[in-house]
Structure 1
Amino acid sequence: MTNNKMPTFILASASPARRRLLQNVGINPIVLPSDFDESLVNISNPQELVKTLALRKGETVAAQQTQGLVLGCDSVLAINGEIYGKPADADEAIARWQKMRSKVGELLTGHALIDLQQGKTLVRCQVTEVYFASVSDRQIAAYVATGEPLKCAGCFALEGKGGLFIEKISGCHSNVIGLSLPLLRQMLDQLGYDVTDFWGF
């Protein structure tokens, strides 16, 4: 598709990290947070949960548009089958880190890409393994005191101070930050778009 026919790219998320990821690869999205009430969805399977939430968020924003590509995303951390979203407060964040340290978790991000022009919707999930360091109680308290983990699914920001407390990741790096860039490229390909056409030369 040529540049003048490229649809508007809409990010149905208030996440600054997701917006930065897109901007860093040349996609300048219009940001329209969905404000979808996540408590309406109660699913115990983490993959199905993030896919459903991503789709609901995307659909909420798409319903208010007549054209464009709408991307909805949702991320959770799962450890031994237990699902974690954003911590409610500092106490919960501290308790969470005390459980997570020295363990391996799965960071799952659901991606829903809605193409209003073509009337097509793709929903996918990317999974990345995260190896948490053996951090001390003092380090946990200091990290939570920065406020950073309170804003993140999984209670850490890989691209921030939390990166100090991750030993390694196995899988897609950007997925841990908020969306999988390789997966997004594949989804755009499937809809007939070349990701480089969004660079807006």
Structure 2
Amino acid sequence: MKTALLIDGGYVRACARAAGHQYDNQFIEAFAQKCVSAPPEYLFRVFYYDAPQFRGTRNLPVSGNPTNFQSSDNWLKELAKLERFAVRRGSLGFRGWRPRNLPLQGGAPLTDADFEPIFEQKGVDMRIGLDIATFSERRSVDRVVLVSGDTDMIPAMKHARKAGIEVVLIQLPQPALRLHDDLQAHADVVRLIAWP
């Protein structure tokens, strides 16, 4: 059964780190192997969706001093070189600052260290949905294995199933949250996997 594996990298990274795993390309490759059941599944390709970390200068919330966010996207370039991997890039936007601890401690004056940046990933869900729609229209795969906890995937999942493509949804192990009922309702199979 020709199978495409679609991984929402931001979702998996957050769950893997919460479980105490180091998240790197070796982990991602081992994780992908855990998601596919062979045979009867033949892994056509792993589509990995993520955003490179934010780069740019922003003013700190208290002092107003500029701070520079630096990062490298070399890990995504290296991931794309792995056998059967395709990387789809979204973007990461800066959305301001939030307190590290709530409620704020009274009495002591606030400092920049009391705040952390807020970043928002953009474009990943759209790319996943478009790829699922393309598979559905072209009938280029028999099965889609999806790793995402986002209910925004439901329209794409429904579209794939109407086109006759099986949809397998991956349930990550603890401490990941249980998948939303609506996501499960639009999957043919929910597959529980273990961390690599």
* Pairwise same-fold verdict (TM > 0.5): no
TM-score, L = length of structure 2: 0.32
TM-score, L = length of structure 1: 0.32
